[in-house]
Amino acid sequence: MSALRRRAERAKTGRSQAIRRGRGETALPYAMVAPLLVFIGALALYPTVLTAYGAFVHNDALDPPNHFTGFGNFQSVFSNSQVRQSFENTGLYVVFGVLLSVGLGIFFGLLLQRRFRGRGIVLALMVLPWALPGVVEGVIWSWIYDPTFGVLNSTLKSAHVISTYQLWVGTHQIESIFFISLVQVWQITPLAAILVLASLQAIPSELYEAANVDGATTWQQIKRITLPLIRPGLAIAVVEGLVMSLNIFDQVYVLNAGATTASSLMSETYQIAFGNLNFGQGYALSLLATVTTIALSLLAVKLIYRRVEF
Amino acid sequence: MKVSKRVATLATMGVVGLGVAAASSSANTVHGTAAASSLKGQTINVAIAYPAPKAMLAKFTAQTGIKVNWDYVQWDNLQTKIASAAEAHSYFADVADVDWSKVGEYYATKWFLPLQSYFPIASVKSAYPQATSFIRDNELVGMPMDGSLLVTTVNEKDFKAAGIKSNPTTLTQYESDLKAVQAKGIVKSPLDIPFAAAEGLSTYWYEMTAAFGGQVLSSTYAPEFTSPSSPGYKAMAWMVAAYKSGLVPKANLEDQDYQALEADQAHNLTASVFSDYSGDVGTIYNVASESKVVGDVDYIPTPGASGVGYNLGNPDGIGIPTEAKHVPAAVAFIKWMEEPANQGAFAGADGPKDVIQTFPLPSNRGGLADLVKSGKVPGAATLESLLENHARAIFPAGAPPWYSQFSNAVYTNIHAAAAGSETVAAAIKSIASTVKGLDN
Amino acid sequence: MKRSRYGWLRVVGIGVLLLWSLFPVYWALNTSLMTNAQAQSSPPSFFPTHFVFSNYEAIFGFGPSSASTAGGIGRALLNSSVESLGATVLTLVLATIGAYAFARLRFRFQGFLFYVVIATLTLPVYATLIPIYTILTKLGLVNTYLGIILVYTSGFLPLAMWIMYNMFQALPASIEEAASIDGATTLQIFRRIVLPIVRPGMAAAAIITFLFGWGQFIFPLVLGSTNSTEPLTVALSALSGRHVVPYTMINAAAIVAIAVPAVIVFFLNRYIVDGIVAGSVK
């Protein structure tokens, strides 16, 4: 039942569960992990090392030959105003992505906390957006946002929310980022909701019963019991949202074209490598993204280890 | 067990899905016999941003014994593939697209084989009106694959309904005609400009600049658009003002060129495209299933600052990547592509079955003559005369190697100016400083 | 009871949840069943007034309006299926075997190696695009199913391993200990006792891996230099980047790409939820 509690117990027992091995099986564990390690080594770690190295090499297809340049690539990208704009935009993607996905995730999680008829189906339907490809989502939302034929415009206009059709993406920085971010939020909210739900189900029902006896209102219960106790799940949801929004690409590629208005770190990296053909600077930006992502993930690990103790 | 039943259902679905997919893809391969030559039996990979003319390819295979695996790759995706293959020194295709805008880049990067040993430069220059776009320092980077230029189209029915008797010949007249169409309420926003931050916006500005009587970069790639009295500056100011005043539909800020043409002009949401693509009348506006304006839209000589303006060329080329594996077969294929009769057929001289969809005009004079003579394509004679008499290359010295970065600066800044997040002066300044940073 | 007092609020909330989750997909389906003229009517119709299947015929290369603009979705569907299924099988086999060793056996450098595998979970995929392309070139695997499957596998292995690791950890050790005392070898215990028990966990890892494979875009775009390995995502983006392809047809292609994940989510949702929970505690 309680996934988190189960894991907490597991963490305590941990390695002591390792089973004894018969004689002549010393090589077995290595044989079992070797294929996995070869794959990850050859196609994940080695390419990352190449990227890290490439970040310090001048590699511009239009200005050969390649040579070591120290932090030259980093200086170039930091002095590029389009790159700086993409940093700012990415910050906004992260803020929108995390706040909205976690906020909606809590809302959906609370809705599904108690059993009711058809809950299984509602849960399945809620998960659907998470399972769809980002490009597909970009395409179907761009039709919804369409400035001439889009259903968002026609609906809001007939409801008298807007007086004329709006351009949701492309005009203003914050508005554009918000609407592109919304497409990603649509995709990652189910993840947050599931994590919140798992934490909710780990809360012992006696706590609510005791609160009821004390005459606490529903809102008081949410504030005093629910929210504090789902913090472990929330922390993970925040990290997932953070990593996803920091690396947003597919939705931007489909919805934003080449405008700097809503460019993201990843779409700018793509432009620099494949548009400008400056692969060195592309590697430098990729390395920055990698380091930022790892730093944030480590931060997350720390957060979670402290919080799982409840 | 429940699990295995569900997994089995899933697996069955997968198999059914695969079956459907396999059935529909079997028609792709082209088989040929005959023609004894050393190239017989080779298969070449061709990656081009046009759909394959299947019946024509079957004839090529029958003639030469060379099988062609023609991949129709979307233009932007194709550029990514060319760049990543070249960066990794990897074989990717024997024949690939060489867009006019990429000629400088490929000349600098040596990503494509020089072709002058197979196609002598002098004869290419005399047979092809747009040959110079593909020649750099006596090196032929690619062969022109089509003839293409930026032209002005107007919806004659809308213009007549507004009481306009003859087509505009100057920009002033053009603007007042558009305003008349708007004032009469025939079309709410008559002018089509795709303002999304994409390549189509850059080329629109180049064409507008040409109409104002100038060019954006000099033959040494110095900016010629910084002074407020320069054609480039005036062109940008004109475009941005047209957007802000409502002459251009508000929604166009998000429209890339294809969307704007498809959604606006074909549905009579606009009445004119100043910088349209040659071929759109035949391939979009006159196609009943795509268009509400069949028979209404015509090409007109582009209105200029004083009299008829220039039409800039934006031809697609075709070339052989350095890592190609079947060079002789690739050369044979390009020669076949360039045969005047075939060029005419691709553009519609032999009727719909041999057409390459969205193909604008034949690349060479022989093909152009065939097309005009066939009388099958509306406006072909007008286009041929524009191509011969009013066409110009976008850059007198050819596209610079850093064209992609330049264009990126152009479209992002014009887009920003139209969106109102910067002034035209700031946009001009920003583009000029990008050029300064690139050209050294 | 408070529950009943707030009952209506829950109903409204569930309504919002369903509208938010389903409307975009419904809208694509609705558009895909209309003619272009219907789809561009104002205000748009919330139901297809008469069903039109011509968009689906066109993208699969049947019917009159297909010509050469669209078509090819059938091939892309095949490619997506082969690449996602191939990567799922390979990932699942390697991850399950490796995870068992990490969870239950003891060996030198175990902690370090485990940490290395988990650390790769945090690598943003785009960072390794060009180096991976170069490596595949050297192996002669660009533009092959095998190449794409190998790359997907390397990318999905850490998560699948982590999910399986947590599944193994959740098993009581007593069964294995008993079998061990009875003289069974590690491999026998793994195959005969452990694997049957963790089958639901494997289903979870497999489904999540499959869905990830289905959603890939930038890697297959670059790693497949021609259309022969192009999955639905790339085909769809190419379709929406071509003029003369109407939005109704693009939405039909989107629905094709949505159909497979939708069926999986509807019938196998339980495993997805289990897998997400097991896979997200880092």
What percent of chain A stands above pLDDT 90? Answer: 41
Taking contacts as CB-CB distances below 8 angstroms, the residues of chain A near B419 are: 170-172, 261
- Structural domain contains residue A196: yes
C133 close to C222: Cβ distance less than 8 angstroms: yes
Q: Report the distance separating Cα A145 and Cα A167, nearest Å.
A: 8
pLDDT at residue B228, as a whole number: 96
Neighbours of chain A (3+ CB pairs under 8 A): B, C
What is the per-residue DSSP string for B401-432? TTHHHHHHHHHHHHHHHHHTSS-HHHHHHHHH
Tens-digit pLDDT profile for residues B266-304: 888 899 999 998 888 887 788 787 788 999 999 999 999
Q: Judge whether residue B3 has pLDDT over 80.
A: no
What is the third-level CATH fold of B150-313+402-438? D-Maltodextrin-Binding Protein; domain 2 (3.40.190)
Number of domains making up chain A: 1
Q: Judge whether residue B438 has pLDDT over 90.
A: no
Task: Bin A265: left if φ > 0, else alpha if -120 < ψ < 50, else beta.
Answer: alpha
Same-domain check for residues C55 and C151:
no
- Mutation for B interface: A167, A175, A270, A281, most B CBs within 10 A: A167
Residue among B17, B81, B263 minimizing CB distance to C225: B81
Q: Establish how many alpha carbons lie within 13 A of residue B195's alpha carbon, considering only the half-sphere containing its beta carbon.
A: 30
Taking contacts as CB-CB distances below 8 angstroms, the residues of chain C near B24 are: 60-62, 74-75
Q: Judge whether residue A310 has pLDDT over 50.
A: no
Query: Minimal Cα–Cα distance from B54 to chain A, Å?
Result: 29
Query: Minimal Cα–Cα distance from B179 to chain C, Å?
Result: 25
Report CA A118 to chain centroid distance, whole Å: 29
- The whole-chain average pLDDT of chain B stands at 86
- Structural domain contains residue A72: no
Alpha carbon of B176 to those of B95, B195, B230, C87, C250: distances in Å? 47, 22, 22, 62, 38
Interface check B122 vs C, CB under 8 A: no
Q: Report the distance separating Cα B188 and Cα B182, nearest Å.
A: 6
Query: Minimal Cα–Cα distance from A80 to chain C, Å?
Result: 20
Query: Minimal Cα–Cα distance from A277 to chain B, Å?
Result: 7
Same-domain check for residues C190 and C135:
yes
Residue among B74, B88, B284 minimizing CB distance to C134: B88
Lowest mean pLDDT among A25-34, B108-117, C38-47, C250-259: C38-47
Same-domain check for residues C55 and C114:
no
Same-domain check for residues C96 and C44:
no
Q: Judge whether residue A171 has pLDDT over 90.
A: no
pLDDT at residue C6, as a whole number: 66
Average pLDDT over residues C203-210: 93
pLDDT at residue C174, as a whole number: 86
Contact flag C157-A40 (C-beta cutoff 8 Å): yes
Tens-digit pLDDT profile for residues A114-135: 888 888 899 999 999 999 999 9
What's the CATH architecture for B33-146+316-384? 3-Layer(aba) Sandwich (3.40)
What percent of chain B stands above pLDDT 90? Answer: 60
Q: Report the distance separating Cα C278 and Cα A6, nearest Å.
A: 11
> At B196, is the pLDDT very low, low, confident or very high (cuts 50, 70, 90)?
confident
- Structural domain contains residue A121: yes
- CB-neighbour burial class of residue B123 (10 A; exposed 0-12, middle 13-18, buried 19+): exposed
Task: Respond yes or no on whether the N-terminal peptide bond of residue A228 is cis (omega within 30° of 0).
Answer: no
To 10 degrees, the CA torsion angle through C111, C117, C121, C126? Answer: 140
- Structural domain contains residue C64: no
Interface check A170 vs B, CB under 8 A: yes
B216 close to B223: Cβ distance less than 8 angstroms: yes
Between residues A221 and B240, the one the model is more confident about? B240
Q: Judge whether residue B156 has pLDDT over 90.
A: yes
Q: Judge whether residue C279 has pLDDT over 80.
A: no
pLDDT at residue C63, as a whole number: 55
Three-state DSSP class for residue C154: helix
Same-domain check for residues C103 and C208:
yes
Interface check A139 vs B, CB under 8 A: no
Between residues A64 and B68, the one the model is more confident about? B68
Q: Report the distance separating Cα A107 and Cα A114, nearest Å.
A: 13
- Structural domain contains residue C66: no
Same-domain check for residues C54 and C77:
no
> At C35, is the pLDDT very low, low, confident or very high (cuts 50, 70, 90)?
confident
Q: Judge whether residue C3 has pLDDT over 60.
A: no
Report CA B267 to chain centroid distance, whole Å: 21
> At B262, is the pLDDT very low, low, confident or very high (cuts 50, 70, 90)?
low
Q: Report the distance separating Cα B292 and Cα B313, nearest Å.
A: 28
Q: Judge whether residue A78 has pLDDT over 90.
A: yes
Tens-digit pLDDT profile for residues A132-149: 999 999 999 989 998 878
> At A15, is the pLDDT very low, low, confident or very high (cuts 50, 70, 90)?
very low
Residue in chain C nearest A30 by alpha carbon: C107
pTM of the model: 0.83
Taking contacts as CB-CB distances below 8 angstroms, the residues of chain C near A130 are: 272
Query: Minimal Cα–Cα distance from C259 to chain A, Å?
Result: 9
Average pLDDT over residues B415-428: 93
Domain containing A84 equals: 80-307
Interface check A171 vs B, CB under 8 A: yes
Between residues C183 and A30, the one the model is more confident about? A30
pLDDT at residue B439, as a whole number: 64
pLDDT at residue B260, as a whole number: 61
Taking contacts as CB-CB distances below 8 angstroms, the residues of chain C near A185 are: none
Contact flag C243-B92 (C-beta cutoff 8 Å): no
Contact flag B408-A170 (C-beta cutoff 8 Å): no
Interface check A33 vs C, CB under 8 A: yes
Average pLDDT over residues C55-74: 67
Contact flag B357-C69 (C-beta cutoff 8 Å): yes
Taking contacts as CB-CB distances below 8 angstroms, the residues of chain C near B89 are: 137
Taking contacts as CB-CB distances below 8 angstroms, the residues of chain A near C176 are: 19
- The whole-chain average pLDDT of chain A stands at 84
Residue among A37, A46, A125 minimizing CB distance to C18: A125
Chain A, 141-160: which have a CB under 8 Å from a chain B CB?
Answer: 146-149
Residue among B108, B254, B404 minimizing CB distance to A169: B254
Lowest mean pLDDT among A42-46, B193-197, B351-355: B351-355
Contact flag A259-B80 (C-beta cutoff 8 Å): no
- Structural domain contains residue A41: no
Interface check A304 vs B, CB under 8 A: no
Q: What is the CATH number of the domain that holds A255?
A: 1.10.3720.10
Tens-digit pLDDT profile for residues C215-245: 999 889 888 766 788 899 988 888 866 556 7
Contact flag A40-C120 (C-beta cutoff 8 Å): yes
Taking contacts as CB-CB distances below 8 angstroms, the residues of chain C near A142 are: 240
- CB-neighbour burial class of residue A236 (10 A; exposed 0-12, middle 13-18, buried 19+): buried
Task: Respond yes or no on whether the N-terminal peptide bond of residue C43 is cis (omega within 30° of 0).
Answer: yes
Contact flag C130-B357 (C-beta cutoff 8 Å): no
CATH 3.40.190.10 residue window(s) in chain B: 33-146+316-384, 150-313+402-438
Q: Report the distance separating Cα B11 and Cα C59, nearest Å.
A: 24
Tens-digit pLDDT profile for residues B230-261: 999 999 999 999 999 999 998 888 776 666 66
Q: Judge whether residue B195 has pLDDT over 50.
A: yes
pLDDT at residue B161, as a whole number: 95
Taking contacts as CB-CB distances below 8 angstroms, the residues of chain A near B269 are: 148
Domain containing C9 equals: 2-59
Contact flag B267-C268 (C-beta cutoff 8 Å): no
One-letter amino acid of C248 = T
ipTM of the complex: 0.89
pLDDT at residue B25, as a whole number: 30
Q: What is the CATH number of the domain that holds C124?
A: 1.10.3720.10
If one counts every other C-beta atom within 10 angstroms of the C-beta of residue B107, the result is 22
For residue B121 the two structure tokens come to 């430069």
Q: Report the distance separating Cα B370 and Cα C89, nearest Å.
A: 56
